[in-house]
Amino acid sequence: MTVEVAQPLQFDDQVMQLDPGTYSGENFESLPSGIRNACPKQRLTDEEKLARDCLRRRQTDLERRARIFDAKRRMIGVDKEALDAQITEKKSRATDDKGAARKEFRDMCQIDKTLKLIEVEKQRQRREQEMACKEFSLQALNFQSRREFDLNDPLAKRKALPTRVGDHDPRCGPSSVQKFSGEDLMKDERIRQQRAAMVSTIEQQIFEKAMLSKQVNDGGFGVQVQEITALRNEIEENELALRKELQRKQYEDNINQANENRERKVALMLQNMDANDRELNFHASDKFLNENSASHFNNRVIRDAYKGSSRLERVQVAAEQQQQRLQKEITKTAEKYDDRYCGNTSMETTRRQLVAMERDKQRRRREMREQNAWENCQLAAEQRANKRQLNKLYKNEFSPEFFEQFGTGCR
């Protein structure tokens, strides 16, 4: 069977001679290249489809024969190319995942940096707002700027005007002709006079100093003053040198004392190290601490050397304790049984006694009821006999004589 390959479409020469971007006079330059270069689907007949399927199956069979006749692939039974392709695909997928993770990490870092910058800016703005609010509160909302501050001002009396500023104060009437204690109406005049007196005093002192300097320059008083001043300076220099010498001596004593303290600390440290070494050596060689000394002497335990029982002794003690526990359980069971038996016996005896007492009580009660019934019967019989006798005694019987008494006479 021959396969006929579909021939490409033949365009008219007139159409091919047109502009490449036009078709039948229409411009398709704006369309994508995939649409402009599209090819129509081939229309095959049934024979052509059958021939194509046969060709595909033959190609598949050839590939299968190549795999089957390959001894290495047939013996090992593994498709090396498929595995290599899977490995390559896995590596490429891992590379892509790693690149995606790296890109995601970079994006996250960038987002984190942006968020941090936003948070820093937000904190700065909030801090600026708080500072502005605080400054505004300190400047405009303080205690002094309140409307009622004049009522709460502790210095209101000090800031207010005095009660009286003079004899001609219009606030004071005729009844205010008085002078308050502590009133100082002449303060300004007094301060002016004090200042004038101070200026006069300073000028007098300047004049006296000038006169003294003139006297020093004219006579031997100035020489005496200079000698006294030089002697005083010499004495002060001697005192300063003595003070420096004493300070140097004190400094040297302090240095010596510090050296002695340092040597004493070093000696104490060495002594502690020696004591620690002796203690460690004692711990390493002591028989009691290392449990190397004998714990028994003449079949008796040495209390300061005994570190506890051995495993065999502990096992024996455990066995004895187990035996004691079993013996105790047996004793407890026997005691429980005895108690139960005694309890049951006493309970049965008590029950029998109670039953006998209840029966005797019922018998006595029955006898009492019978006696009461018999006595009641006797009383009833006596009552009936008495009633018959009384009825007979108090019953009116009409005799013939009773009727004969009527109609025998007239009134």
Of these ranges, 307-316, 369-378, 396-405, the one predicted with the greatest mean pLDDT is: 369-378
Q: Across residues 368-390, what is the average pLDDT?
A: 91
Of 57, 84, 86, the C-alpha closest to 73 is 84
Lowest mean pLDDT among 184-188, 210-214, 292-296, 334-338: 292-296
Report residue 146 as tokens.
């309140």
Asked if 24 and 15 touch (Cβ cutoff 8 Å), the reply is yes
The pLDDT of residue 241 is above 70: yes
Q: What is the mean pLDDT of the chain?
A: 81
Write the pLDDT tens digit of every residue in 4-22: 444 444 444 444 444 454 5
Report d(CA 101, CA 186) in Å as an integer.
93
Q: What pLDDT shows up at residue 18?
A: 44
What residue spans of 33-165 are helical by DSSP H? Answer: 33-36, 46-68, 71-76, 80-140, 149-152, 156-159
Q: 277 in the Ramachandran plot: left (φ > 0), alpha (ψ -120 to 50) or beta?
A: alpha
How far is it, in rounded angstroms, from Cα 35 to Cα 55?
31
Residues 286/288/294/296 CA torsion (nearest 10 deg): 160
Q: Is the pLDDT of residue 99 over 80?
A: yes
Separation between Cα atoms, residue 177 and residue 194, nearest integer Å: 29
Helix/strand/coil for 116: helix
Whether this prediction's pTM lies above 0.75 is answered by no
Q: What is the pLDDT of residue 268?
A: 93
Is the predicted pLDDT of residue 404 greater than 90, yes or no? no
- pLDDT per position as a tens digit, 247-273: 999 999 999 999 999 999 999 999 999
Distance CA 149, CA 155 (A): 11
Q: How far apart are CA 282 and CA 75, in angstroms?
A: 76
Task: Specify the DSSP element, H or E, that contains 201.
Answer: helix 187-218
Q: What confidence tens digit (pLDDT) does each residue in 343-361 have? A: 788 888 888 889 999 999 9
The backbone torsions φ and ψ at residue 384, rounded to the nearest 5 degrees and listed phi first, read -65, -40
Average pLDDT over residues 136-140: 86
Q: How much is the pLDDT for 403?
A: 73
Domain ranges of the chain: 1-77, 85-152, 195-284
- Those residues whose C-beta lies under 8 Å from the C-beta of residue 172, and which sit 6 or more positions away, are 164
> Does 57 score more than 80 pLDDT?
yes
pLDDT single digits (tens) 155-196: 888 888 777 777 777 777 766 656 666 777 778 888 999 999
Q: Closest Cα partner for 67 from 82, 87, 55, 57? A: 82
